Structures are given as C-alpha cells and as structure tokens.
Structure 1
Amino acid sequence: MVSDYRAYADRVITRPCLSSGVGDSVWSPPRAGFIKIITDAYMAGDESVGLGAVARDKDGRILWLGYWQVGAEWSVEVAEAKAAMFGLDIAKERGLSNIVLKCDALNLVRAVRDKNIARTPVGLCVEDLCTLLSFFESSKCCHVKRGGNIVAHCVARISERVGVATVLVTDFPQGVLSLAEIDLI
C-alpha cells in the first residue's frame, strides 16, 4: 500500500526541481515517463520577439519543436513567459500528460512555483502558466541555466516571418539536431 502511494505521489505531486531554485547548467534527461519541454525567448530588436519550444524524451530525442516570431515589444520577463505558454500549448495540443517545463528565467520559475500572481503583465502570464500546468496529469516548472537551454535558444531564433507559428515533428533543422547531439555528450 505504501509503495502504491509513493508511485501515485511521484506522478501527481508537483515539486520544485531544486530547493535553491537554480537549475542545471547542462541539459539533463527527464525521468522515465516524462517529457521535458524547454523554452526560450529571443528579443529580435525589430519590435518582434522569437519564441521557441523543444520537447525531448529521456533519451534526448527531439519529439517536436515550435517557433513563432511575434510582433510585440514585451519585456524580457513577459517574453520568457509567453515562450513557456507557447511550449505548454503545443504540449497540451499533442496530448502530453507528464511534463517538465524548463526555462532560463529564474524569477519566472520562482513565481510559477510559488503561484505569485500579481496584477502586472508578468503576473498575468504567471497566472496563465499555472492554469496551463494544471491541465497535465503531472507537471513541474524548473529553472535551467543558459548552457542547458541552448537548443531552445537556437529554436527561438529560427523564424524570420512575424505572425507565423510553426511546429515541426520531423525534418528538424540540422543545426538544432547538432546542438541536441552535443547535449548528450
């Protein structure tokens, strides 16, 4: 009975990845049964923001990636939150149930973990992220340092056309595949 509860609790209880809140500096695989979704935003400087999201399994394989160039002048914090929402939207549409969301915006991760919802643009994004995370059977939101986020950072820079969101499930760009392979070394 205790082992059954532990197995159940491991699946449904959301825990912070690290007690300090500061994440890995290199890519690490999710535990078995989970998909890691790593997101990032790119401030293009031309009144647009690139959003990127990559889903990888425990073996490091890319399952899908998404990128979207949005015509907006968001703060970095809002852009990072929008990238995380973009990744979670794709994961939800693809029917994933157990996910680990990773991004390199530590303050955002802490706000989501603590459910720190303020009536600010970032706070409203945090509220949306918490809502999106609740749709999954099991989810975590964790910080990753830039070194563990390099693939998503590259993906956020792909799109050159504002307004076109793209999700790839095959035929990934060679540069992205190469970076993902380097992560596994």
Structure 2
Amino acid sequence: MGEMGSGMGMVIQDFDDKVERAGVVQVYEKWTPEIAEGKAAEFGLRTARQMGLQNVELESDSMTLINMLRAKSFPLNYFGRISRTVLDIANSFSCIKFNFTRRNGNAVAHGIAHLLPLSYSTWFWVEIIPETIAPLVLLDSFDLPS
C-alpha cells in the first residue's frame, strides 16, 4: 500500500490447502514491512484462536520474525513488542509451529494485504477468497523459488 498506509493479510488453510478463512486489515499508518509482517502474524493467530483451532502453523516470509519466535528472544523496540505479543498468543495453542516461507509461498496473504480499493477497515472471507486473489492459492501451494 506504500504511501497510502499498511495492509495485513492472513489466510487460514487446512492441511489440504483449502482456504478456511482469509482476512485483511488496512490502516492509515505507514509501517515498515517488518512491522506489517508482525502485525499480520498477530492478526492471523488471533483469528485462529477465535476459530477454536488448537494445532497451528504460522508461516511468514519474515525470517527475522520466525527466528525471534523460535528463539523466544526479542529486541527492546516496537517490532520486539509486537513479536512478543505474537508469541504470547501462540502459547495459547496446543501445538504451534513457526515456519519461514519465501514470498511466493506467502502469495495469498501478501495479495490480500494489498487489495484494492483501499477500505481502511477489516474484511473476512469464510471458505472463499476474493476472485482477484484466487489464482494465488495455486501459487501458494507450490511455494515456488523466488
């Protein structure tokens, strides 16, 4: 979204890659990609918890975020605070895995975060995704190299 604000996209899929829920939050604040990725992880885990899921895999294309969550070590800055919140939510699940994925493996969430027109609000899709994002589900399942 660049100069127009920030977007956080999340996708919850079952083990067969079927989309169970997708969502986007668009805000006026202009965040760094690192902050947006942390906020998207928080958004996704909060949604998974509200759905009553217990076994969760968090995928992110931020190696920094994934490494901090695995190490349970956070810097004393805003990104560290967001990451700590993500870990606190993650600890509410029976089983949680933190996995790094390349941007291509995160195409659906990335596409949803940049949906147009901008609405500066929160949107959810249950068992469907917007038509403009549907082709990315296939790309996401392949996790193609960059």
1:93 alignment counterpart: 50
Looking at structure 2, the residues matched to 146 and 176 of structure 1 have their Cα atoms a distance apart, in angstroms, of 15
**In 2, are the aligned partners of 1:115 and 1:126 still within 8 Å (CA)?**
no
Where 2:25 maps in the other structure, the secondary structure is strand
* Number of residue pairs the alignment of both structures matches: 141
Does residue 135 of structure 1 match 2:64? no
**In 2, are the aligned partners of 1:47 and 1:71 still within 8 Å (CA)?**
yes
- The partner residue of 2:13 within 31, 56, 62 is 56
Identity %: 30
Where 1:50 maps in the other structure, the secondary structure is strand
Which structure: greater helix fraction?
2
Could you list the runs of 5+ residues in structure 2 that have no partner in the other structure?
Answer: none
Where 1:73 maps in the other structure, the secondary structure is coil
- The partner residue of 1:179 within 132, 136, 143 is 136
- The partner residue of 1:168 within 121, 125, 133 is 125
After superposition, the CA RMSD in angstroms is 1.5
TM-score by length of 1: 0.71
1:146 alignment counterpart: 103
- Structure 1 runs (4+) deviating above 6 angstroms are none
1:69 alignment counterpart: 26
Q: CA, structure 1 residues 182+77, in 2 after alignment: closer, same or farther (shift >3 Å)?
A: closer
Q: CA, structure 1 residues 58+171, in 2 after alignment: closer, same or farther (shift >3 Å)?
A: closer
Looking at structure 2, the residues matched to 178 and 106 of structure 1 have their Cα atoms a distance apart, in angstroms, of 25
Could you list the runs of 5+ residues in structure 1 that have no partner in the other structure?
Answer: 1-43
TM-score by length of 2: 0.89
Looking at structure 2, the residues matched to 171 and 147 of structure 1 have their Cα atoms a distance apart, in angstroms, of 20
